[in-house]
Amino acid sequence: MKVFNVPEFYRSPLISKVKQFRKIQDPRKRDNSPTVLDFGPVRYLVARHFGFCYGVENAIEIAFKALDENPGKRIYLLSEMIHNPDVNKDLNERGVKFLQDTLGQQLISFDELTPNDIVVIPAFGAPLQLLKLLADKGIKTEAYNTTCPFVERVWKKSEQIGKTKHTIIIHGKYNHEETRSTFSRSAVDSEAVIVVRDLEESKKLSDYIWGRKSQEEFNLEFKDKCTPGFDIDKHFQKLGVINQTTMLATETQQIADYFKQVMIEKYGVENSKDHFADTRDTLCYATNENQDATNGLLNSQADIAIVVGGYNSSNTSHLVELCEKKFKTFFISSAKEIESKHLIHHYDYPNKKHRSTANFLPQQTTTNIIITSGASCPDSLLEEVIEKINGFYTNVKQMVEVIKKLEAASSTD
C-alpha cells in the first residue's frame, strides 16, 4: 500500500512501534486481540487496528501539498477535510479557510472566490452542484481533490444499480458531507434516492412499501431525505442498498437483509432478484478493520475504555458504541480533555452532550485501560493520552523501555 507524506508531528514513536509489531506478528490481519502495553501500575490494551486510514493520509498529504505549492495564494477547504479538530486547526492556523461547516452551512460566501483561489475538496467528496458552482467560477479542483477512493467506490456501485432502475437506499446520516455527496450522484444515476439512518428507520419504510401509509405521510416523515417527486407506488418496486462508508458494517448488512426479505415477501423468492439488487458491502477496509478490532477488544477484561477522535466523526462514534457494550467508555478529542487523575471531560455520544466525570480512574494496584481511536485521529494524540495518564501514577515504566520490549518481540517473530 502507498506510503503517504504525512507531517511528522502527526506520528508517534510508540504507536508506530505498536503497528510495526502487529504487522510482523500478524501479517494477514487474522488476530483481532489487542496489543498490551504494560507500564506497571497501568496497562493499555491497544486495538489491533485504529488511527489514520488510507483516505485520511491521502487527504492530509494533498492538503499540505496545496499549501507548499501555492505560497501567497488564498487557499480554502470546501468544508472540514476530515472530522478531527486538531488536523483542521493545524490547516486553519496555516492560513486555510473553510467555506462551509460540516453541515453545509455557508461560512464564507462563494461570491468572494476568484479563479486564482485554491479550493481543496475534502475526503468526503462534494455534491455535484457545488463542484459545478466552483467550475463556473473558473476554479479548478482536480489537483487538490482529496476524495477518498473508497467513497468513490460507493459512487460507482450507485451508478451501477441506478442504471438498472433500482431506487437507491443510502444507509447514512442524511446531513453528513459524504452522504450529501453520494446522494447528489445517486440522484443522477437513479430515478429515486432515499436516506435511512438505521434499521429502525428502514422498518418505517415497509409501511409505505406495503401501502399501509399514504404518500402524504411519507412526504412529512422523509422530507429532505429523498429526491423530489418520490412516488411510493412507483419507486419502491426495485431497491438497492449502498452506504456512507463509516457506518456500522453490521447494521448496513441488517438493513440490506431486511429490504431483501421485504421484497421476497412481496414478490416471491423466484422474482426477488428482479426487485432487489444484491450489493456487496461498500464500507471501506479501514472502517471494517477498526470495527472488527473493536469487537476484538470486547473479549478482553479492562476497567475502562478510552476512544480518541473528533466528536463529529461518524466512524469514531461507532467505535464508541461498540466499546459501550461492555466497558465504561470515555469519548475524548485529545489529552486536553483529561484535566487530572480526578476529572475527565468527555462526550456522551448517545445523548449528544458534553459531560465531566470525577474519579474516572479506578483506585487499584493495576489499572487496565482499553484504548483506540478513529480513522481521522493522528497517532500522536493517542500517545499524548497515554503519557497524560501515566503521569498520574508512580513507578511507571519509561516509554523507551516499553518501546524496546516491542522491538525485542518484533525481532523474535
HSE at residue 316, side-chain half, CA atoms within 13 A, is 31
Query: What's the burial of 258, exposed, middle or buried (CB within 10 Å: 0-12/13-18/19+)?
Result: middle
What gap in Å lies between CA 300 and CA 191, rounded to an integer? 48
All 3 cell numbers of residue 412? 523474535
Residue labelled with grid coordinates 502527526 = 10
All 3 cell numbers of residue 40? 506497571
Of 17, 19, 5, 12, residue with least CA distance to 293: 19
Contact predicate 306/37, CB 8 Å: no
Helix (H/G/I), strand (E/B), else coil: 229: coil
Q: For the chain, how far is it from start to end, CA to CA, in angstroms?
A: 22
What gap in Å lies between CA 369 and CA 386, rounded to an integer? 10
Would you call 216 a catalytic residue per the annotation? no
What letter does residue 244 receive in the DSSP assignment?
-
What letter does residue 145 receive in the DSSP assignment?
B
Q: Which of 57, 80, 177, 178 is catalytic?
A: 178
What gap in Å lies between CA 171 and CA 202, rounded to an integer? 9
Positions marked catalytic = 178
